[in-house]
Amino acid sequence: MSFVDDYALTRSSVFKTLVGVFVLITVVNVIVIRQVYKDSDAFHREQLVKQLQDESAEFSFVAKQSKEDVERLLATKRASETSFYYRLTERSESVSNTPTYPIRTLPSSVASIFVGDTHQLVIGIDHHAVEAYQKSLIPIVFSGIILPVAVMLIAALFFTILILKRLERVNRAMNRVLCGERDVKIAVSKQDDEFDILAIHLNFMIEQMAKNEASLKSLTVGMAHDMRTPMARLKLRLEEILSDEKLTVKQSDQLSACHDELELILSLFNSMLEIAKLNSGQTKLATEAVDIGRVAHDAIEFISPIAEMKQQRLICRQDQLCEVQGDKSLLFRAVFNLIENAVKYTPDHGDIEVIIDHFGVVVADSGIGISESDKMSVCHPMFRADKSRKEQGNGLGLSLVDAVVKRHNAHLILRDNNSGANQLSGSRLYDDSLCEGNCGLRARIYFER
């Protein structure tokens, strides 16, 4: 039952429904058993009343014979197990000669029989016998209540765990799909029940999603590949035209703007192709020892002029040596993209800190941050958390970082930088987030050791 905890049981609608049904059955069972108990006790009392009448008739017959016969019969009755008590006393005028048999007040039900002219015999139901019979019913009553309740509760737990176990398999498979796996298949049993039908439908849905995604990727990559060549030719032609001295200043400016826009589009297509090749494994990685600290310092040297223009405080701190096997060029681009994003989305006079430890590199800033809802999508190609599009970019920077780190068996982890501005140093840099967006971003490239 490691896959089923108290929380899973309490939130399970199946378990709640079964428990509700069993509680209703238990209440009905208690009412029925209580009525059976009362009817059984009443029936027992009625039988005692009938036996009392028989006893009274027997002693009345013997009393007509002689007192000695009554005493002999009385001795015989007392020697045997009986539910009545017998008292032979002297005759009292206050006692009526007519025997009474009150049924609803059985503990005081008696029959009085005259024996001769001087004595009378009182026969009554022994209340100890009535109590003994009631006590004998109690274990039967409790077993009739507790045993079904225990069986129903065990059955509820068994069926709930059985259902939750099969649902857990489906949930785990769908979580793998949500995490990016596509070759996921949910096991289908031979029972051919509703869970198997659900598994078949989900497997078909996963296959269709994989086909649609593959088709979309193929279309996107194909378009990027096919359009890159004519765009490159168009770029060369614009460069030839720009080299013509007969152009006016206005014409030269317009053609230069077109050239820059075309170069931006061409760069976008090149990045899309590169990310697609990295994700598909078509790009061969150079394998060499790479010092991540050295890579981070080189990236900071490239980006520092922009940080100085924005009067940002860019700090690099190496706590431990971090050396990995991989492609130095790709790792440089990944680290550079993280630092560039931090500089781009951190306001003027902001703080950015790059920390290298044994497990990788951390880039923390005091910028606008990324909301929790966007953290799951920010690594998708063309996705931009900056909905205003104020900053220049194409939404491929973090996609490239994610593709590079995955090829190096590493992880890109994005968290809110809760330490805030001017407090980026120290252990607080590694604390979990307590805010959402607008408190800075902490991006880590984590290499498994």
Average pLDDT over residues 108-128: 78
Give me 4's structure tokens. 């089923």
pLDDT exceeds 80 at position 28: yes
Percent of the chain with pLDDT over 90: 13
Predicted confidence band of residue 381 (pLDDT cuts 50, 70, 90)? low
Give pLDDT tens digits for 209-253: 877 777 766 766 677 677 777 888 888 888 888 888 778 888 888
Instruction: State how far the Cα of 28 lies from the Cα of 32, in Å rounded to an integer.
Output: 6
- And the tokens for 7? 């929380």
Per-residue confidence (pLDDT) for residue 181, from 0 to 100: 74
For helices 194-242 and 249-280, what crossing angle results, to 10°? 150
At residue 30, the pLDDT reads 86
User: How would you classify residue 124: left for phi > 0, otherwise alpha for psi between -120 and 50, otherwise beta?
Assistant: beta
pLDDT range class, residue 339, cuts 50, 70, 90: very high
Q: Hey, what are 261's tokens?
A: 């826009």
Supply the pTM of this predicted model.
0.51
pLDDT digits over 162-211, tens only?
888 888 888 888 888 877 677 788 888 887 778 888 888 888 888 888 77
Burial class (CB in 10 A: 0-12, 13-18, 19+), 369: buried
For residue 362, the surrounding DSSP H or E stretch is: strand 360-365
- Reply yes or no on whether the pLDDT at 108 is more than 60: no
Comparing 448 with 375, which gets the higher pLDDT? 448
Residue 361 has pLDDT above 90, yes or no: yes
Residue 99 above 50 pLDDT?
Answer: no
List the single range of 52-56, 278-282, 287-291, 442-446 with lowest mean pLDDT: 278-282
pLDDT tens string 40-92? 888 888 888 888 888 888 888 888 887 787 788 888 888 888 888 888 887 65
Average pLDDT over residues 18-35: 85
| Whether residue 393 has pLDDT greater than 70 | no
Q: Give me the chain's average pLDDT, please.
A: 78
**Which of 129-133, 316-320, 334-338 shows the lowest per-residue confidence on average (mean pLDDT)?**
129-133
Sheet architecture: strand order including 351-357 = 313-318, 351-357, 360-365, 441-447, 410-416
| Spatial CB neighbours of 328, under 8 Å, sequence gap ≥ 6 | 286, 288, 290, 295
